[in-house]
Amino acid sequence: MRKFKGLIITFLVLCLFSQANISAKAISSECGILVEQVTGRVLFEKCADQQKYIASITKIMTAIIAVEEGDLDGWVEISENATLQVGSSLYLKQGDKVKLIDLIYGLMLRSGNDSAMAIAEEIGGSEEEFVKMMNEKAKELGMTNSVFQNPSGLDETTYNLSTAADMAKVMRYAMNHPVFREVVGTKVHKTQSEGGVPYVWQNKHKLVTGYYEYAIGGKTGFTKQARRTLVTSAQKDGLELVVVTLTAGDDWNDHMSLFNMGFDNYELKTVIPAGFLNVDPTVSDSKLFIKQDAIVAVKKDGSETVSTELKLSQDNTTDNEVGTLIVKINDEVMDEIPVYQQVELKDDQPRGWFQWLFGWLMGDGDTQ
């Protein structure tokens, strides 16, 4: 009888885990991904590398380039070409001027295609040159399956193709910029043009405006070819996650389901803090250190094994880099962090201010 009860309990536990996994995998979207913000660890994916039309989530790329390259407080004159863009619009007036930062708000909150074109013409000089900047940034970010042809996401004459995995990369990158982060987390933005035209833009992203309490930013998208596309960032208890869905049916619930699975099952852990490493003298008699924390996103239930491996190079590179600290989960490489060697100065060699400051911060004895 006890054995029978044990089998029943085991079966029930397995059913509970199966239901949790099924609820996460049975998303309505054709493709999707759940990624941890800091480490980039993929916690869930469904055809995440399949190229698709992406509609207005294109504007994440447009916005981050504008934030990085433009004069945010500068006035941008609205061209006739910008006012002729079809689809979602801020109804900007030809010849009027709007500050770049306000155009970015309109771009991300209301998905203004006229704003996208105005930004492209201001930052790139033309749409064509701005598109080149978009593709260069995509290459820089490792978005190997992405092709951009316009700054808005319209796909009637030109189009943009990407994947859930690639769009998660650009969202993670963009969320590290405080201005972008502020913009996409805003519920309502009010401004006026140089000509005195007032604008009030409410965020279209329902999860950000109150539908999901942990949502902190994102971008919506829709065209007939792309169908519904959605990118969202959410944060809870120090864990920040990104969800991307493409060709979706019920994307709001898809995102909440994936976020809840991530928050329920994962947490961030610091494996080794930034600073000096505890290295066996037989491995290296130099003082080695890392400049950043070694962090991993791991399951809360303790079922995953985290390990580190120090690999030293014989050929010293620039900045006293001497090797790599490899961080693994269950023998799968999660991160590779540069390892540096402290420069030992001779007694008669004066310390520069940087060496003095570094020594003081690290508590390295005499800093005189």
Residue 170, both tokens: 């650009």
In CATH, what number is assigned to the domain containing residue 132? 3.40.710.10
Q: Which of residues 120 and 357 earns the better pLDDT score? A: 120
Structural domain harbouring 197: 29-265
Domain identity same for 100 and 189 = yes
pLDDT, tens digit, 9 for 90 and up, residues 263-306: 999 999 999 999 999 988 888 888 999 999 999 999 999 999 99
Give pLDDT, residue 3: 46
Give the model's confidence band at 9: pLDDT under 50 very low, under 70 low, under 90 confident, else very high.
Answer: very low
User: Please, what is the average pLDDT of the chain?
Assistant: 89
Contact 300, 239 (CB under 8 A): no
Could you tell me what percent of the chain has a pLDDT over 70? 85
Q: Model pTM greater than 0.75?
A: yes
Range 38-45 average pLDDT: 96
Domain identity same for 250 and 201 = yes
Domain assignment of residue 22, yes or no: no
Question: Is the predicted pLDDT of residue 206 greater than 60, yes or no?
Answer: yes
In CATH, what number is assigned to the domain containing residue 346? 2.30.140
Residue 42, both tokens: 């993929």
Domain identity same for 235 and 285 = no
Domain identity same for 89 and 51 = yes
Active site amino acids? 56, 59, 111
Domain identity same for 285 and 228 = no
Q: Which of residues 356 and 163 earns the better pLDDT score? A: 163
Domain assignment of residue 11, yes or no: no
Question: Is the predicted pLDDT of residue 65 greater than 80, yes or no?
Answer: yes
Give pLDDT, residue 220: 98
Closest to 166 in 3D by CA, of 225, 64, 246, 258: 246
Domain identity same for 341 and 217 = no
Domain identity same for 182 and 316 = no
Domain identity same for 86 and 34 = yes
Give pLDDT, residue 16: 37
Domain assignment of residue 321, yes or no: yes
Domain identity same for 103 and 244 = yes
pLDDT, tens digit, 9 for 90 and up, residues 319-364: 689 999 999 999 999 999 999 998 765 555 555 555 555 565 555 5
Domain assignment of residue 42, yes or no: yes
Domain identity same for 75 and 158 = yes
Q: Tell me which of 220, 241, 265 is where a domain ends.
A: 265
Q: Tell me which of 230, 265, 300 is where a domain ends.
A: 265
- What is the number of domains present in the chain? 2
Q: Tell me which of 201, 234, 265 is where a domain ends.
A: 265
Range 174-178 average pLDDT: 98
Cα–Cα distance measured from residue 304 to residue 306, given in angstroms and rounded to the nearest whole number: 6
Question: Is the predicted pLDDT of residue 135 greater than 50, yes or no?
Answer: yes
Domain identity same for 256 and 283 = no
Which residues, 6 or more positions from 342, have their beta carbon under 8 angstroms from its beta carbon?
Answer: 276, 286, 287, 288, 289, 320, 358, 364
Range 241-251 average pLDDT: 96
